Amino acid sequence: MTFDPETLTQSWPLPANPRPIVTFGAGSIVGDAHYPAYRKGGFPIAGLYDPDHDKAKALAERWGVTAYRTVEEAASVENAIFDLATPPAAHANVLAVLPEGAAALIQKPMGADLAAATEILTICRDRKLKAAVNFQLRFAPMMLALKDAIAKGLLGEVVDFDVHLALDTPWQLWSFLEGLPRIEIAMHSIHYLDVIRQVLGDPGGVHAKSIGHPNHGMAQTRTTAILDYGDRVRCALSINHDHRFGRRHQACEFRVSGTQGAAYLQLGVNLDYPRGEPDILEIHPKGGDGWVPVPLEGTWFPDAFVGRMANLQRFVSGEDAELVSSVEDAWMTMALVEAAYASSAAPATPLAARP
């Protein structure tokens, strides 16, 4: 079987008639990822709201959009897609004032914990919102290509999924995280857990330990986890955001192995964030005799944000039948996150006493 890497799908189709976007929140993620992606995808941006109006106004002027003075004013924009780039604790209050039946994209995580995610799910159901969670890694060109390769049988049955990070993450860029009880899994590795669910389905359970580091005060920045998929599939995550010893031995990579082929991915944005390095996808296909580089047509930031918004817009217009990472599905990712924290808090199996 001849493998042509150019045949792998790497992008999501755009909507024919995109709706205007109204954003809640004026943090760095909006200016660094959301708005560059929306402009690249041709999505009209109506404006944004932030409790810090001066901050909202500065970002609005930079992008030539409106800075709304109240949540209600922002929520009154007709036929809008509402983009919640808000901290987890703010999601529910914003969703509660959106028009019934509105379309919303909710920044991950879907609340601070599973109880908050359940409240958000209930609000979305009660108000009949067409709501998805911004698990945009699913839409990164390398991840769309990996999913297509798996669907085409290039790896055979997937039996191993390894996530390995050893890098220096600039947590100081997200000041709102300071003092929060849940950091690493809830705010970062949640992306990887969500992608793993998409590839492997829901695990039966998880063994995890998430800890901080003596050199700073963030709650957790290092995680080890094993997802239980029975006796056929092995899935493990080794995450270290405190490897501050130069680029040479840093890493941010997936290794996905099947019974007949394998894939290697580098998630470049996390290396020297936010400038980042190139994403990489290489596939050792079924029947092949070596690794084949896949020329990527974009990166996680900002291209995944284009696909994420495109799917929501197309679902609202009827062009897509499935809303990827809907709040119903995203709740299951939050359930996996909750299980990981419960495992981390539980005592390990003790060693036997010395005889």
Q: Are residues 262 and 320 in the same domain?
A: no
| Separation of alpha carbons 61 and 208, rounded Å | 44
Are the C-beta atoms of residues 138 and 242 closer than 8 Å to each other?
A: no
Q: Are residues 70 and 199 in the same domain?
A: no
Tally of domains in the chain: 2
The CATH number given to whatever domain includes residue 292 is: 3.30.360.10
Residue 342 placed within a domain: no
Structure tokens at 84: 């919640």
pLDDT score recorded for residue 26:
97
Q: Are residues 148 and 123 in the same domain?
A: no
Q: Are residues 249 and 315 in the same domain?
A: no
Residue 229 placed within a domain: yes
pLDDT score recorded for residue 1:
60
Residue 77 placed within a domain: yes
Residue environment code for 189-227, b if the CB has 16+ CB neighbours within 10 A, otherwise e: bbbbbbbbbbbbeebeebbbbbeeeeeeebbbbbbebbb
* Residue 199 domain boundaries: 141-296
Residue 145 placed within a domain: yes
Q: Are residues 210 and 233 in the same domain?
A: yes
pLDDT score recorded for residue 223:
98
Beta bridge partners of 232: none
Q: Are residues 90 and 200 in the same domain?
A: no
Beta bridge partners of 82: 22, 104
The CATH number given to whatever domain includes residue 115 is: 3.40.50.720
Residue 336 placed within a domain: no
Residue whose structure tokens are 């958000």: 120
Residue 3 placed within a domain: no
DSSP H or E stretch at residue 103: strand 103-106
Are the C-beta atoms of residues 53 and 69 closer than 8 Å to each other?
A: yes
Reference 239, options 263, 210, 281, 272; nearest CA is 210
| Separation of alpha carbons 99 and 76, rounded Å | 8
pLDDT in tens, 180-202: 999 999 999 999 999 999 999 99
Q: Are residues 174 and 211 in the same domain?
A: yes
Collect the ranges in the chain with pLDDT lower than 50.
none
Q: Are residues 148 and 283 in the same domain?
A: yes
Q: Are residues 186 and 203 in the same domain?
A: yes
How long, in residues, is the chain? 355
pLDDT in tens, 62-90: 999 999 999 999 999 999 999 999 999 99
Q: Greatest CA separation found in the chain? A: 74
Q: Are residues 129 and 239 in the same domain?
A: no
Predicted structure pTM score: 0.96
Q: Are residues 81 and 20 in the same domain?
A: yes
Residue 346 placed within a domain: no
Residue 341 placed within a domain: no
pLDDT score recorded for residue 175:
76
Q: Are residues 147 and 228 in the same domain?
A: yes
Number of H helices, E strands in the chain: 11, 14
